[in-house]
Chains A and B, each alone.
Chain A
Amino acid sequence: MSREKGYTKKNFLKGLIAENPLFVSILGTCPALATTKSIEAALGMGLLFTVVLICSNILVSLLRKLISEEIRTPAYIVIIATFVTMVKMMTNAFLPELYSTLGVFISLIVVNCIVLGRAEAYASKNNVFDSLIDALGMGIGYTVALLIMAFFREVLGSGMITFGTIFTFIPKFSIPILKCVKDGVVIYDYSIQMFQNPAGAFIVFGLILAVIAFVKNRKAELKAYQEKQEKLKKAEAARLAAAAKANETSGGDK
Chain B
Amino acid sequence: MSSKKHYIITSITLGLIGAASAGLIGLSNLLTRDRIARNEANKITSGITSIYGEDASVNKEEDISDHKYVNHIYYIYSGETLKGYAFKTSGSNMYGKISLILGFEIEGNLTPFVGLSIVVNEQTYATTLVDNYVTPVNNGQRDLDDVKCGATYGATLIKDMIYEAADVAQAKLTVNNNE
Residues of A within 8 A of B (CB): 34, 37, 63, 66-68, 70-71, 74-75, 78-79, 81-82, 85-86, 89-90, 92-94, 96, 100-101, 103-104
Contacts and interface: CB of A to CB of B under 8 A. Distances in A.
27 contacts: A37-B127, A68-B9, A71-B10, A71-B14, A75-B13, A75-B14, A78-B14, A78-B18, A78-B21, A81-B21, A82-B24, A85-B25, A85-B28, A86-B25, A86-B28, A89-B28, A89-B29, A89-B31, A89-B36, A90-B28, A92-B36, A101-B127, A103-B122, A103-B123, A103-B126, A104-B122, A104-B123
Contacts, number: 72
A209 B47 CA distance: 43
Contacts of A70: 10
Interface residues of B, number: 29
A93 B13 contact: no
Interface of B: 6, 9-10, 13-14, 17-18, 20-21, 24-25, 28-29, 31-32, 35-36, 39, 43, 95-96, 118, 120-124, 126-127
Nearest to A37: B127
A66 B14 CA distance: 10
Nearest to A90: B32
B24 A92 contact: no
B interface, by DSSP: helix, strand, loop or mixed? Answer: helix
Nearest to A83: B24
Nearest to A70: B10
A66 B17 CA distance: 11
Nearest to B150: A197
A147 B26 CA distance: 33
A93 B32 contact: yes
A79 B21 contact: yes
Given A68-B10, A103-B123, 6 more contacts: A78-B17, A85-B28, A89-B31, A96-B39, A103-B126, A104-B122
A82 B32 contact: no
Contacts of B43: 96
A34 B127 CA distance: 10
A138 to B, nearest CB: 23
B14 A74 contact: yes
Contacts of A103: 96, 121-124, 126
Given A89-B28, A100-B126, A68 B36 contact: no
Contacts of B127: 37, 101
B143 to A, nearest CB: 23
Contacts of B24: 82, 86
Nearest to B43: A96
Contacts of A101: 126-127
Contacts of A90: 28, 32
B39 A104 contact: no
A104 B96 contact: yes
Contacts of A74: 14
B17 A63 contact: yes
Contact of B124 (A66, A85, A104): A104
Contact of A68 (B6, B20, B39): B6
Contacts of A96: 39, 43
A89 B18 CA distance: 18
